[in-house]
Amino acid sequence: MPANTLAARLHQPGLISCPGVFDMISAKIADAMNFDALYMTGYGVVASHLGLPDAGLATYTDMVGRVAQIAGGVGKPLIADGDTGYGGLLNVEHTVRGYEAAGAAAIQIEDQEFPKKCGHTPNRRVIPMADAAQKIKVAVESRASKDFLIVARTDARAGHGLDEALRRGEAYAKAGADILFIEAPESETEMRRIGEAFDLPLVANMVEGGRTPLLGKTELEEIGYRIAIFPASGFLAAAQALRAVYRSIEAEGSTKGTDVPLYPFPEFSRLLGFERVWDFERRHALGE
């Protein structure tokens, strides 16, 4: 599916709910379902790829490689976490061009100081608003197509309050952002203030156990959100399932009799494309 379908989808009514994908298994499973778009979670990618916290430790090279891998392996538009752009203005230009060339439909750029941190963890600091707005301006100018969308995120709520976060959202909108992401509002009242403040599409970050209340689809739409991302749901569910089945092996020395639900092996093989391999082998068998 072409990346520009995300831009087209934003002109249609209804909330765009995006599951967080962090590796090719999660991406393949989500891609086979009826989602309009997928969200490449920085937290999840850094955890699955490097086994490290999302604290500015992954490089542009680490991340653009994952963008290319995931975007190239799915058919749905991919919104990809681009952290702070991995440096100054020239880095932002390089990052935007790289993510677009890698096949993403949108890139998320945030206004944290380097090294950045996950938006639902403490001690986040932001750069001056004018500097962050200039990053968004450079990001907009650097893309090859207007259908490649720029998501401007501010983390100012935690350290400077919601009013400052709203001011930054306005500045980033003026700089040309296509989508605004006011990170980590701490109540439904704050979420409603965000919804009332902007005409641009808004992102709601639904993190189970995070700082923002988890709301339902109807509530998010009524507030004014256009995109809801669920970055942690997949890896939290996967980690819980892995821990349960590994504990079964640890305790019993086998999975025989385990009550942990397992994805059927034949279906999993089909998900990964083994049917094409088998068909190829039949068509190109020796002697045929």
Inside any domain, residue 264: no
Determine, yes or no, domain membership for 273.
no
| Cα dist from 175 to 36, 169, 178, whole Å | 27, 10, 10
**Residue 185 falls within a domain, yes or no?**
yes
Contact 78, 70 (CB under 8 A): yes
Residue 282 in domain: no
CA distances to 53, 95, 108, 140, 172 from 134, rounded to whole Å, are 28, 15, 15, 10, 8
193 falls within a domain? yes
Under 8 Å CB-to-CB from 123, ≥6 apart: which residues? Answer: 117
What local confidence, expressed as pLDDT, does residue 1 receive? 39
Residue 254 CB contacts under 8 Å (≥ 6 apart), including other chains:
none
103 assigned to some structural domain: yes
What's the pLDDT at 113?
87
Range(s) of the domain holding residue 185: 4-238
Structure tokens given for 154: 């501010």
Per-residue pLDDT of the chain (288 residues; tens, 9 = 90+): 345 589 999 999 999 999 999 999 999 999 999 999 999 999 999 999 999 998 888 999 999 999 999 999 999 999 999 999 999 999 999 999 999 999 999 999 999 988 776 656 666 899 999 999 999 999 999 999 999 999 999 999 999 999 999 999 999 999 999 999 999 999 999 999 999 999 999 999 999 999 999 999 999 999 999 999 999 999 999 999 999 999 999 999 999 989 999 999 999 999 999 999 999 988 888 555
Q: Which CATH number belongs to the domain containing residue 226 in this structure? A: 3.20.20.60
Report the pLDDT value the prediction gives residue 5, as an integer from 0 to 100: 87
Q: Is residue 106 one of the residues assigned to a domain?
A: yes
Total domain count for the chain? 1
pLDDT at position 118 is 67
* Backbone torsions φ then ψ of 227, nearest 5 degrees: -130, 135
Candidates 105, 111, 135; CA nearest to 124 is 111
Residue 275 lies in a domain: no
| Cβ atoms 16, 9 nearer than 8 A | yes
The predicted pLDDT at position 235 comes to: 97
pTM equals 0.93
Instruction: Report residue 183 as tokens.
Output: 């990170």
